[in-house]
A and B are shown apart, each in its own frame.
Chain A
Amino acid sequence: MNLRRDVFQAIADPTRRAILMLVASHSMTAGAIASNFDTARPTVSKHLQILTECELLGQKQNGREIYYHINAKKMKEVADFIEPFRQMWDERFNKLEAIMKNYKSKK
Chain B
Amino acid sequence: MVQKTKISAEDGQQDLVITREFDLPLEYLFKAYAEPEIVEQWMGTKVLKLESKKHGGWQFETKDAKGNVVFKANGVIHEFSPGRKITRTFEMENTPFGVQLEVYEFEQLTEDSSKLTMHVIYESAAQRDQMLQLPFAQGINMAHNRLQDIVSKLK
Contacts and interface: CB of A to CB of B under 8 A. Distances in A.
Given A12-B10, A86-B7, A100 B133 contact: no
A99 B32 CA distance: 9
B48 interface: no
A90 B139 CA distance: 14
Interface stretch (A3-11, A24-32, A35-43, A51-59): A3-11
Interface in B92-123: 116
A4 B136 CA distance: 14
Contacts of A89: 5, 7, 18, 20
Interface of B: 3-7, 9-12, 18, 20, 22-25, 28-29, 31-32, 38, 41-44, 116, 129, 132-136, 138-139
Given A4-B133, A93-B5, A99-B42, 12 more contacts: A12-B9, A84-B139, A86-B5, A89-B5, A89-B20, A90-B5, A92-B44, A93-B20, A100-B38, A101-B23, A101-B24, A104-B24
